[in-house]
Homo-oligomer: A and B are copies of this chain.
Amino acid sequence: MRDELRADLLEVGRLLVSMAEAVRTAMGHATEALLTADRATCEMVIARDAEVDDLHRQVDQQVYDTLARQAPVATDLRLVITGIAIAADLERMGDLAEHVAKTALRRYPAPAVPPELREVITSMGAVADRMAGKVGLVLTTQDATLGAELETDDDAMDELQRRLFSILLHKDWRYGAEAAIDGALLGRFYERYADHAVNAGQQVVFLVKGETSEPPSVDQP
């Protein structure tokens, strides 16, 4: 690979790592704000999503510039374009953190999460944090085993979502339809966040291994 192309790809990688860090921080703050009904933190998460969107635009621009200036071929070409797909996954993770913050804000000053759900939401937040951290790490280290770990983490997230639904649907649920809907949507936000983390990680691995198959795409309920 030529030096100029390598430098361009490093810049794309650097931007993607910044995005991964930003969406990890966003979901961390959103979960904390959700559990503490903290209005200021919710508003900060919502406001700062613009930074993620801006990084996304920078990645796209860098990819277009690289394609135009370097005209890479074969594996190099796929590598450059995959940057676009990873950035799209990361931006979506930022959006989902924003949705968690907006859900908390909609119920403010009441807490959006009743006591029975605190433990499972806390766990979902912890798994989300771990996964976003691994996406950043796989981007930096290109360690394919981290990609596999993301799938295990995603299984843990799916299990937590099942536990969440079993609480919402239990005959003893006493918070009514509104809180059940909030709980179900929150569960979906964390689960989708995890799906996009797996997808981003798999695409890095696809790059590293230079597979001839297509990059994976998020495709699950």
Number of copies: 2
Sorting the interface of chain A by its residue count into under 10, 10 to 19, 20 to 34 or 35 or more gives: 35 or more
Residue among B64, B67, B214, B219 making CB contact with A60, cutoff 8 Å: B214
Q: Is A7 interfacial (CB 8 A cutoff)?
A: no
Chain A 53-65 interface mask (CB, 8 Å, partner B; 1/0):
1001100110010
Closest chain B CB from A180 CB (angstroms) = 4
Q: Are B84 and A64 in contact (CB under 8 A)?
A: no
- Which A residues, 50 to 102, have Cβ-Cβ distances below 8 Å to chain B? 53, 56-57, 60-61, 64, 67-68, 71, 73-74, 77-78, 81, 84-85, 88, 91-92, 95, 98-99, 102
Query: Are A102 and B221 interface neighbours, CB within 8 A?
Result: yes
Q: Which residues of B contact A56 (CB under 8 A)?
A: 217
